[in-house]
Every structure is written in structure tokens, then in C-alpha cells.
């Protein structure tokens, strides 16, 4: 069996959400006609159409580099799905840990009673894509002024910084931490007019726990189209 066949089997074994992500990376081919993908360096063309390309890098070398980066992203997607801790996974697919995290009725009642005895204000957990970073700050401001304790994401994986070496480990740990925040919440507020797979999984998790979910844009509260998942599985 070739490496290509091995990769195809590994992608086929992923949950629908991660399979779609891996297939997108697999289809992300290098385009010789797209100057935006060239490194700068050497002039190509003339006049207004003059472009720059690194004289040390041929198109073949650039394409090979592109393929290596795509393969690394696919491998990362496979590792995240297989970790069993990503909220993007379809419930029950490589995700046994999530089922065990659902609170039983007695524990939930004890938590509510403890909050009441301690006089703790309602806890609101913000969910949503990190593309809405500023909107989350605005929502946190508004909810705090309403007398609520606000818990929001504080790490944006799309803006990597120093402090961690293993992105997969950080991502899975953050997913588990955010589910713990949801278990603590009295309400979840979904911020933004777009819901990705990760946020959709968090919404489903909150509702499974019986935590009320509110939206800044209620129109986004709709199930993912079946055609999208069917297309990813084909």
C-alpha cells in the first residue's frame, strides 16, 4: 500500500468535520499562475505586470514546499481528531471523553445550590470564532455591566505566540478547558454572525448539559446542511 493510500484511509477514518478540513488541505494545490504564492526576489514580466520571484527557488521547489506544508496541516488535523478531545468531532467519533464529562443531575443541582449559597452572580461563557475577538470584548463589557461574571476565550490559536511548542497539545487542552467553562456556566452567549464546526460542537455540548444558549445573531442558530457533510464523506 502506498503512502497516498495510507493517507486516504486515515482521512476516511476522520469524523465528518475533520475529514472536510483535511480534504480542503489536500485540494489546496500550488498554482503557478498565482503570483501571490511566489516568494519575492527575481523580476518576472515587464512594465506594470512585473512581479518578483526568488531566484533561488524554482516552481518545482515551491510546489514541493507547498505540498509539505499541506501534508503537515493534514497530519495536524488527523492528530487532533484522533486525540478524542476536540469539540469539532461528531459526538461518539474518537471522543469517548466527552460523554464522561456530562454532569449527572445531582452534581448539577449541587453546583447551582452552591452558587446560590455563595451569592455568585450568573456566569456567562462566551463562545464563537476568534475572528470575532473584538466583538467578544464588546459582549464581555455589556454582560459585565449587567452584573454577570463573564468567561471568555483568552488564547487565539490563529495568532500564535511564544509559550508553547506543541500546537496539538495546546489545542486539545484548550478544548477541554472550554468544555469545563461551559459546565460551570449558567448561560452560553454565542458571539458573531458565523458558526464554525468547533463553535457548533460547543453549542451542542451546552444544550446537552441543559445550559441555556443565547446568540448575538440568532439567525446563525441552524444545523449544518446535510449536503456539506455528505460531500465531505464522499
**What is the per-residue pLDDT across 6-24, written as a single tens digit (0 to 9) for each?**
666 677 777 777 778 878 7
Among the four given CATH numbers 3.50.50.60, 3.40.50.450, 1.20.140.10, 1.20.910.10, the one describing domain 103-224: 3.40.50.450
More confident residue, 47 or 150: 150
10 Å CB burial of residue 11 (0-12, 13-18, 19+) is buried
State the average pLDDT for the chain: 74
Predicted local confidence at residue 225, as pLDDT: 45
Residues 216, 193: Cα–Cα separation, whole Å? 8
> 33 vs 59, 84, 213, CA distance in Å?
10, 40, 46
Dig out the grid coordinates for 64 from the structure.
Answer: 514541493
Cα–Cα dist 134/139, whole Å: 9
Q: How far is CA 45 from CA 34, 42, 51, 58, 221, in A?
A: 14, 10, 6, 16, 49
Domain ranges of the chain: 3-82, 103-224
Amino acid at each position: 500500500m502506498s503512502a497516498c493510500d495510507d493517507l486516504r484511509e486515515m482521512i476516511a477514518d476522520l469524523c465528518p468535520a475533520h475529514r472536510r478540513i483535511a480534504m480542503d488541505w489536500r485540494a489546496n494545490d500550488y498554482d503557478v499562475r498565482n503570483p501571490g504564492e511566489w516568494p519575492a526576489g527575481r523580476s518576472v514580466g515587464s512594465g506594470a505586470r512585473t512581479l518578483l520571484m526568488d531566484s533561488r527557488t524554482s516552481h518545482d521547489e515551491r510546489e514541493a514546499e507547498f505540498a509539505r506544508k499541506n501534508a503537515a496541516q493534514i497530519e495536524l488535523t488527523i492528530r487532533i481528531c484522533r486525540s478524542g478531545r476536540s469539540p469539532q468531532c461528531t459526538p461518539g467519533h474518537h471522543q469517548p471523553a466527552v460523554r464522561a464529562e456530562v454532569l449527572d443531575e445531582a452534581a448539577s443541582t449541587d453546583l447551582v445550590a452552591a452558587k446560590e449559597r455563595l451569592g455568585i452572580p450568573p456566569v456567562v461563557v462566551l463562545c464563537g470564532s476568534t475572528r470575532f475577538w473584538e466583538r467578544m470584548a464588546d459582549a464581555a463589557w455589556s454582560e459585565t455591566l449587567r452584573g454577570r461574571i463573564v468567561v471568555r476565550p483568552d488564547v487565539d490559536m490563529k495568532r500564535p505566540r511564544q509559550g508553547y511548542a506543541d500546537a496539538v497539545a495546546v489545542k486539545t487542552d484548550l478544548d477541554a478547558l472550554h468544555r469545563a467553562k461551559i459546565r460551570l456556566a449558567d448561560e452560553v452567549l454565542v458571539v458573531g454572525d458565523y458558526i464554525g464546526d468547533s463553535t457548533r460542537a460547543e453549542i451542542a455540548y451546552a444544550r446537552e448539559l441543559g445550559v441555556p444558549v443565547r446568540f448575538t445573531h440568532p439567525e446563525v442558530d441552524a444545523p449544518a446542511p446535510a449536503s456539506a457533510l455528505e460531500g465531505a464523506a464522499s
